[in-house]
């Protein structure tokens, strides 16, 4: 085994880091949780004692080294302690999504053969009890919140605090065993097992070693200069790899404080009270917050509204440059200061972003307007690209090199290469050990040299060296002339317009791209109201000339932006139509997570696709729809097909430098 | 089994104690209208007791007699082994009886927390002067009461609206705030007047769960009026059925369900 500096220092596991923090940062808060309206805090020294008591309690219940301990519940300090306590006795924590149904839980629990399950409350206890007869290895269930649990049969059911009490009582007897177990943990032992949600097929258990987690935590903490003074809010699912890296990996490596919300509903209030310095959120959350701000500004008095728009315009102009440390004139700087005093500062405070030093978003493409809004306020929001199999980090954006359309440069220690088909591969210290009990999938994903296929297609920008992700690799195809076709890349650009809800781009194997557009009824309806356009149905609104004009303008703007991209300039949309019905999961057109099923839509609306390509000015169609009560009906419509202006492209310049 | 002096054990293992409240031959008149006619029943410690009946049967009047709002012309109310003299509602509240209302009666302009805190009023002992100075005993009292209020807020899962004015809340949540205000008074007997009226299925399920949890966790005796038969039959240990001011049935949900008079009252049989 290769001994790294950390290995030599003995910091080869999370429990080892805990012991270090309990002495180095003894009196510094490690966890906070709001309960009964007050923030309760635990220092690192107290945390160590709590975890020790639970670990002893687990020994007392008979947890063996190598056992899997499942943990289910929302973010609470006690459940984070459960993970570290499990690691301390040589077991492997397996956090599960608390909103997963009993069947999914049954699959995961029996797949890993968990003997012990630690859950938050009655709701989760009920789920486990429902499936327990199918779980052959399951033995003990530990719950946190005793509410409603009194009447349950307690022969295999234990209250968390009682387990700790028993552990404390048996201290003299069991402590030597705990010491022995802790000292036996090596750098290559399993740190945690995380199940990927699995859009296709059954979830896979991703095994991450101590080396994966600690090396990743070290590199990423150094990359962003994270220190023990950071405050984070832990509100994303504990079963998600990002939460494990932020709230355990980086927190234990640097010794910063993890704050847990009072309840999942109070997250926004708690965010404001804590004012984190390091923050992560998926694009959806930033989008919701921005929408709320905009709606409330519309309701504000005229002067306030004017003030807001005046200074936001200025912020958009110079804010990002000031954040990136680029030269900005003295007058502009002064005006930005003033804006900060009057608008940006109070706004950031309301949003809970006053102290954010580093913010990350990932998971999906974020709209450039949304991204720029937060950056112009002076919030250092960045993007990263990651996967469970990589212990999160593949690429991330360094300070001062942030853009909304790239995902940054390879993270420290990570190598990235682009395969022949455009697929992104990576290799690094965070690369997972294996998929648990699934050698075939492991071999499919990771080659013997350690390169992992992401399943995403992308390329490095020649000038900046930043990675850009264009689409899922399996969706990327070639057009008739051989140029690259990346539908999602174009669809995302279209969907950034609030008026466009969904877009479906066709073009694989064809000479040009065409698109279906779905209008957003809320946004377009609102627009229609303001412009005195009357309509009686979705279909009528979707077919309105002015709506078509508006969508055409959006499509043409998108074309201009797509054309700037040499590799993807062939994906400009030549013709489009606005669909007469909203794409719906009930009709099989979307997945339940609202992703478009391009192939099914193409088959179902075959007549419309044909019309897009044969140059017809309009097309008559009948579509079968399923109503919410299961009845079926038909919608008849004549749809106008519009030509969109495209930007001429000089075909694939031969790279002559 | 149900007539045992010292109570009984329910099917799901809860212990029901002796009688806490007994209504003896209650008759209530409004002028010439007889709202309640010679009704007797009892409520046992720790049980969930439902009063059901068609519209105008006198259910709410009955609840108002229990809460002391109406004084019956005839009959006796016995609470915890003592005959209760005619009382003002605040005196009844001090005895440990709290209630919620059919039409929500909250302070709309105040926050949820302040509304819940008003439920502690009967437990406050410091006077106006001490509270104005606030330091010392009044402060300690407020801290203690705030903690009680926070525990109930946590119990009913309304933390996210703690500082929200009640007027801004949807109906279902207002009902929950009202329950919180009643609970924070730590009542021995909790009266719920149509707790699920106007709620959708999901809100009804939530409310049912809270009622069961309150009964289980705090051992609170609960008397409730409810229209939704499904809810009543699932929740309650024993049911009193009223029709036109008279008691026409009393017993477990199963007994009541098979009672011919009750079936007639609900299916509608002509009253000659």
- CATH number of the domain that residue A104 is part of: 3.40.50.12780
A410 occurs within a structural domain? yes
Query: Which residues on B lie below 8 Å from A154 (Cβ)?
Result: none
Report the pLDDT averaged over residues B44-65. Answer: 90
Helical H segments across chain B, by residue range: 59-66, 89-94, 112-118, 128-133, 137-155, 171-184, 201-218, 229-235, 253-257, 260-267
Residue B248, domain extent = 1-96+187-272
Choose the closest CB to A263 out of B13, B159, B216. Answer: B159
Dihedral angle, C-alpha B96, B101, B107, B111, nearest 10 ° = 80
Instruction: Please give the C-alpha separations between residue A624 and each of A537, A566, A598, A631, B175, in angstroms, as whole numbers.
Output: 17, 40, 18, 10, 43
Answer whether B146 sits within 8 Å of A37, measured CB to CB. yes
Kindly tell me if the per-residue pLDDT of B1 is higher than 60.
no
Q: Are residues A489 and A523 in the same domain?
A: yes
Query: Which residues on B lie below 8 Å from A147 (Cβ)?
Result: 155, 213, 217
* Phi-psi sector, A514: left (phi>0), alpha (psi -120 to 50), beta: beta
Query: Which residues on A lie below 8 Å from B157 (Cβ)?
Result: 263, 265
Q: How far is B161 from chain A (nearest CA, A)?
A: 8
Query: Which residues on B lie below 8 Å from A35 (Cβ)?
Result: 154
Q: Are residues A155 and A249 in the same domain?
A: yes
- CATH number of the domain that residue A522 is part of: 3.30.300.30
Q: Which residues contact B110 (CB under 8 A, 6 or more apart)?
A: B118, B165, B166
| Average of per-residue pLDDT values in chain B | 87
Kindly state the DSSP code that residue A340 receives in the 8-state scheme.
I
Q: How far is B49 from chain A (nearest CA, A)?
A: 20
Q: Are residues A33 and A65 in the same domain?
A: yes
Choose the closest CB to B147 out of A36, A150, A266. Answer: A36
Choose the closest CB to A37 out of B14, B150, B213. Answer: B150
Which of B170, B185, B200 represents a domain boundary (last residue)? B185
Query: Which residues on A lie below 8 Å from B147 (Cβ)?
Result: 36
Q: Are residues A432 and A564 in the same domain?
A: no
Phi, psi at A526, each rounded to 5°: -60, -45
pLDDT at B268: 65
Q: Are residues B14 and B74 in the same domain?
A: yes
Closest residue of chain A to B164, computed from CA coordinates: A269
ipTM of the complex: 0.80
Closest residue of chain B to A37, computed from CA coordinates: B150
* Phi-psi sector, A553: left (phi>0), alpha (psi -120 to 50), beta: alpha
Q: Are residues A434 and A467 in the same domain?
A: yes
Q: How far is A261 from chain B (nearest CA, A)?
A: 10
Query: Which residues on A lie below 8 Å from B156 (Cβ)?
Result: none
Answer whether A151 sits within 8 Å of B147, measured CB to CB. no
| Average of per-residue pLDDT values in chain A | 89
Answer whether A151 sits within 8 Å of B216, measured CB to CB. yes
A300 occurs within a structural domain? no
B101 occurs within a structural domain? no
Choose the closest CB to A36 out of B154, B163, B217. Answer: B154
A299 lies within 8 A of chain B by CB = no
Kindly state the DSSP code that residue B88 receives in the 8-state scheme.
-
CA separation for the pair B157, B176 (Å, rounded): 9
Q: Are residues A12 and A65 in the same domain?
A: yes
Q: Which tokens is A514 given? A: 């065409």
Q: Are residues B248 and B267 in the same domain?
A: yes
B270 pLDDT tier (thresholds 50, 70, 90): low
A198 pLDDT tier (thresholds 50, 70, 90): low
Taking CB atoms and an 8 Å cut-off, how many pairs form between chains A and B?
35
Which of B185, B200, B222 represents a domain boundary (last residue)? B185
Maximum Cα–Cα distance for chain B, whole Å?
Answer: 68
Kindly tell me if the per-residue pLDDT of B7 is higher than 80.
no
A631 occurs within a structural domain? yes
Closest residue of chain B to A265, computed from CA coordinates: B160
Report the pLDDT averaged over residues B97-115. Answer: 90
CA separation for the pair A30, B11 (Å, rounded): 46
Q: Are residues B131 and B168 in the same domain?
A: yes
Q: Are residues A517 and A539 in the same domain?
A: yes
Q: Are residues B124 and B143 in the same domain?
A: yes
A45-72: pLDDT as tens digits: 999 999 999 999 999 999 999 999 999 9
Which of A249, A274, A299 represents a domain boundary (last residue)? A274
Which of A211, A244, A274 represents a domain boundary (last residue)? A274
CA separation for the pair A292, A283 (Å, rounded): 14
Chain B interface residues (partner A, CB cutoff 8 A): 12-14, 146-147, 150-151, 153-155, 157, 159-160, 162-163, 213, 216-217
Closest residue of chain A to B11, computed from CA coordinates: A151
Answer whether B216 sits within 8 Å of A262, measured CB to CB. no
pLDDT at A450: 92
CA separation for the pair A527, A521 (Å, rounded): 10
A247-280: pLDDT as tens digits: 999 999 999 999 999 998 899 999 999 999 999 9
Query: Which of B13, B149, B160, B161 best tests the A interface by mutation, with the highest count of A CBs <10 A?
Result: B160
Question: Which residue in this structure is represented by tokens 């492209």?
Answer: A649
pLDDT at A421: 80
Answer whether B213 sits within 8 Å of A147, measured CB to CB. yes
CA separation for the pair A70, A504 (Å, rounded): 40
Q: Are residues B204 and B168 in the same domain?
A: no
Q: How far is A37 from chain B (nearest CA, A)?
A: 6
Kindly tell me if the per-residue pLDDT of A653 is higher than 60.
no
Residue A565, domain extent = 477-643
Kindly tell me if the per-residue pLDDT of A165 is higher than 70.
yes
Q: Which tokens is B266 given? A: 């609900």
The domain total for chain A is 3
A61 occurs within a structural domain? yes
Kindly tell me if the per-residue pLDDT of A299 is higher than 70.
yes
Q: Are residues B160 and B120 in the same domain?
A: yes
Choose the closest CB to B162 out of A37, A150, A151. Answer: A37
A260 occurs within a structural domain? yes
pLDDT at A1: 38
Q: Are residues B1 and B91 in the same domain?
A: yes
A598 occurs within a structural domain? yes
* Pairing status of strand A423-427 against strand A415-418: antiparallel
Which of B185, B216, B234 represents a domain boundary (last residue)? B185
Q: Are residues A24 and A99 in the same domain?
A: yes
Q: Are residues A428 and A514 in the same domain?
A: no
pLDDT at B133: 78
B150-189: pLDDT as tens digits: 999 999 999 999 999 999 998 889 999 999 999 999 999 9
Question: Which residue in this structure is represented by tokens 């100075």?
Answer: B133
Query: Which of A35, A36, A270 best tests the B interface by mutation, with the highest count of B CBs <10 A?
Result: A36
B132 occurs within a structural domain? yes
A484-499: pLDDT as tens digits: 888 888 888 888 888 8
Number of other residues whose CB lies within 10 A of the CB of residue B232: 21
A residues 141-200 closer than 8 Å to B (CB): 147-148, 150-151
User: A99-103, A407-411, A627-631, B187-191 — which is least confidently predicted?
Assistant: A627-631
A656 pLDDT tier (thresholds 50, 70, 90): very low
Q: Order across the sheet with A190-196: list the strands.
A: A190-196, A204-209, A434-435
Q: Are residues A175 and A255 in the same domain?
A: yes
Q: How far is A243 from chain B (nearest CA, A)?
A: 23
pLDDT at B50: 93
B25 occurs within a structural domain? yes
pLDDT at B267: 67
- CATH number of the domain that residue B195 is part of: 3.40.50.300
A459-476: pLDDT as tens digits: 898 888 999 888 888 888
pLDDT at A488: 84
N-terminal to C-terminal alpha carbon distance within chain B: 36
A575-602: pLDDT as tens digits: 999 999 888 877 878 776 677 888 889 8
Q: How far is B159 from chain A (nearest CA, A)?
A: 7
The domain total for chain B is 2
pLDDT at A308: 94
Q: Are residues A211 and A96 in the same domain?
A: yes
pLDDT at A298: 77
Query: Which of B14, B156, B159, B169 best tests the A interface by mutation, with the highest count of A CBs <10 A?
Result: B159
Query: Which residues on B lie below 8 Å from A266 (Cβ)?
Result: 159-160
Report the pLDDT averaged over residues A521-531. Answer: 85
Answer whether A265 sits within 8 Å of B151, measured CB to CB. no
Closest residue of chain B to A146, computed from CA coordinates: B217
pLDDT at A94: 97
A444-453: pLDDT as tens digits: 899 999 999 9
Answer whether A263 sits within 8 Å of B13, measured CB to CB. no
Which of A217, A240, A274 represents a domain boundary (last residue)? A274
Answer whether B159 sits within 8 Å of A150, measured CB to CB. no
Kindly state the DSSP code that residue B71 receives in the 8-state scheme.
-
Choose the closest CB to A269 out of B146, B157, B160. Answer: B160
Q: Are residues B92 and B7 in the same domain?
A: yes
- CATH number of the domain that residue A417 is part of: 2.30.38.10
A305 occurs within a structural domain? no
Answer whether A266 sits within 8 Å of B146, measured CB to CB. no
Q: Which tokens is B68 given? A: 């002391």
Instruction: Identify the helix (H) or strand (E) that includes residue A384.
Output: strand A381-387
Query: Which residues on A lie below 8 Å from B11 (Cβ)?
Result: none
Q: Are residues B143 and B12 in the same domain?
A: no
Report the pLDDT averaged over residues A176-181. Answer: 96
Q: Are residues B141 and B72 in the same domain?
A: no
Q: Are residues A144 and A221 in the same domain?
A: yes
pLDDT at A487: 87
Q: Are residues B61 and B90 in the same domain?
A: yes
**Are the CB atoms for B206 and B19 separated by under 8 Å?**
no
A residues 259-278 closer than 8 Å to B (CB): 262-263, 265-266, 269
How deeply is B76 buried, as exposed, middle or buried, from its count of CB atoms within 10 A (0-12, 13-18, 19+)? middle
B192-203: pLDDT as tens digits: 999 988 888 888
Q: Are residues B150 and B210 in the same domain?
A: no
Query: Which of A33, A37, A76, A146 best tests the B interface by mutation, with the highest count of B CBs <10 A?
Result: A37
Kindly tell me if the per-residue pLDDT of A3 is higher than 60.
no
- The percent of residues in chain B predicted with pLDDT above 90, rounded, is 44
Q: How far is A41 from chain B (nearest CA, A)?
A: 18
pLDDT at A576: 94
A417 occurs within a structural domain? yes
Query: Which residues on B lie below 8 Å from A148 (Cβ)?
Result: 213, 216-217
CA separation for the pair A504, A576 (Å, rounded): 10
Choose the closest CB to B217 out of A35, A37, A147. Answer: A147
Query: Which residues on B lie below 8 Å from A269 (Cβ)?
Result: 160, 163
B102 occurs within a structural domain? no
């Amino acid at each position: 085994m290769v001994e790294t500096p950390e290995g030599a220092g003995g910091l080869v596991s999370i429990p080892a880091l805990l012991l270090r923090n309990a002495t180095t940062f003894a009196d510094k808060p490690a966890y906070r949780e709001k309960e009964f309206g007050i923030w309760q805090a635990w220092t690192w020294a107290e945390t160590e004692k709590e975890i020790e008591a639970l670990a002893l309690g687990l020994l007392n219940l008979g947890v063996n080294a190598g056992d899997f301990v499942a943990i289910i519940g929302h973010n609470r300090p006690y459940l984070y302690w459960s993970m570290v306590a499990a690691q301390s006795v040589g077991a492997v924590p397996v956090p599960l999504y608390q909103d997963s149904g009993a069947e999914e839980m049954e699959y995961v629990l029996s797949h890993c053969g968990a003997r012990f399950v630690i859950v938050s409350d009655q709701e989760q206890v009920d789920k486990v009890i429902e499936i327990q007869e199918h779980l052959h290895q399951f033995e003990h269930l530990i719950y946190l919140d005793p509410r409603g649990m009194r009447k349950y049969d307690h022969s295999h059911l234990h209250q968390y605090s009682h387990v700790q009490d028993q552990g404390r009582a048996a201290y003299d007897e069991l402590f030597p065993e705990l010491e022995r177990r802790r000292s036996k943990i090596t750098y290559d032992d399993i740190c945690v097992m995380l199940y990927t949600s699995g859009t296709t097929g059954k979830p896979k258990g991703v095994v991450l070693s101590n080396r994966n987690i600690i090396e990743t935590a070290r590199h990423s903490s150094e990359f962003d200069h994270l220190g023990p003074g950071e405050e984070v809010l832990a509100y994303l699912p504990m079963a998600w790899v990002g939460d494990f890296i932020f709230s355990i990996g980086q927190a234990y490596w640097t010794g910063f404080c993890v704050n847990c919300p009072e309840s999942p509903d109070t997250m926004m209030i708690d965010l404001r009270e804590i004012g984190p310095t390091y923050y992560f959120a998926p694009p959806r959350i930033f989008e919701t917050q921005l929408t709320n701000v905009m709606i409330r500004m519309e309701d504000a008095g005229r002067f306030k509204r004017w003030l807001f728009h005046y200074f936001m315009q200025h912020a958009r102009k110079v804010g990002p440059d000031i954040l990136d440390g680029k030269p900005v004139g003295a007058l502009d700087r002064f005006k930005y200061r003033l804006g900060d005093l009057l608008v940006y500062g109070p706004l950031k405070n309301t949003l809970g972003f006053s102290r954010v030093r580093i913010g990350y978003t990932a998971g999906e493409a974020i709209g450039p307007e949304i991204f720029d809004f937060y950056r112009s306020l002076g919030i250092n929001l960045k993007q990263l690209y990651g996967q469970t199999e990589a212990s999160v980090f593949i690429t991330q954006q360094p300070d001062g090199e942030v853009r909304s359309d790239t995902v940054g440069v390879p993270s420290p220690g990570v190598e990235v290469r682009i395969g022949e088909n455009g697929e992104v591969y990576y290799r690094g210290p965070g690369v997972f050990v294996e998929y648990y009990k699934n050698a075939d999938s492991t071999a499919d994903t990771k080659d013997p040299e350690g390169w992992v296929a992401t399943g995403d297609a992308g390329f490095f920008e020649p000038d900046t060296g930043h990675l850009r992700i264009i689409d899922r690799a399996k969706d990327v195809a070639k057009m008739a002339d051989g140029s690259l076709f990346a539908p999602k890349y174009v669809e995302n650009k279209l969907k950034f317009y609030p008026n466009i809800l969904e877009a479906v781009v066709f073009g694989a194997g064809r000479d040009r791209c065409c698109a279906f557009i779905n209008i957003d009824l809320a946004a377009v309806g609102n627009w229609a109201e303001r412009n005195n356009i009357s309509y009686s149905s979705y279909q009528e609104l979707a077919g309105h000339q002015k709506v078509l004009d508006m969508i055409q303008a959006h499509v043409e703007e998108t074309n201009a932006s797509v054309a700037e991209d040499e590799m993807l300039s062939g994906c400009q949309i030549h013709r489009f139509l606005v669909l007469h019905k909203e794409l719906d999961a009930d009709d099989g057109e979307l997945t339940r997570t609202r992703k478009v099923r391009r192939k099914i839509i193409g088959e179902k609306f075959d007549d419309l696709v044909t019309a897009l390509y044969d140059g017809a000015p309009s097309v008559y169609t009948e579509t079968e729809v399923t109503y919410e009560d299961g009845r079926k009906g038909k919608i008849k419509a004549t749809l106008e097909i519009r030509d969109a202006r495209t930007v001429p492209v000089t075909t694939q310049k031969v790279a002559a430098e | 089994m149900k007539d045992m002096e010292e109570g009984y054990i329910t099917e799901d293992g809860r212990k029901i104690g002796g009688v806490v409240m007994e209504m003896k031959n209650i008759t209530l008149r409004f002028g010439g209208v007889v709202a309640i006619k010679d009704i007797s029943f009892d409520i046992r410690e720790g049980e969930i007791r439902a009063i059901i009946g068609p519209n105008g049967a006198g259910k709410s009047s009955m609840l108002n007699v229990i809460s002391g709002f109406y004084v019956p012309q005839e009959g006796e109310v016995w609470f915890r082994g003592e005959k209760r003299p005619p009382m003002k509602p605040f005196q009844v509240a001090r005895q440990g009886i709290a209630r919620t209302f059919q039409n929500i009666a909250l302070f709309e302009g105040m926050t949820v927390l302040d509304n819940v805190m008003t439920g502690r009023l009967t437990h406050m002992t410091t006077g106006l002067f001490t509270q104005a100075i606030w330091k010392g005993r009044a402060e300690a009292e407020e801290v203690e009461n705030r903690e009680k209020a926070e525990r109930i807020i946590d119990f009913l899962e309304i933390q996210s609206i703690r500082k929200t004015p009640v007027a801004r809340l949807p109906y279902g949540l207002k009902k929950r705030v009202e329950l919180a205000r009643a609970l924070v008074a730590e009542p021995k007997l909790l009266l719920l007047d149509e707790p699920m009226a106007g709620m959708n299925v999901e809100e009804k399920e939530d409310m049912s769960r809270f009622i069961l949890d309150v009964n289980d966790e705090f051992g609170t005796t609960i008397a409730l009026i409810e229209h939704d038969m499904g809810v009543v039959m699932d929740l309650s240990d024993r049911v009193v059925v009223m029709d036109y001011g008279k008691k026409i049935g009393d017993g477990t949900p199963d007994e009541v369900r098979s009672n011919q008079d009750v079936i007639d009252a609900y299916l509608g049989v002509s009253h000659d």
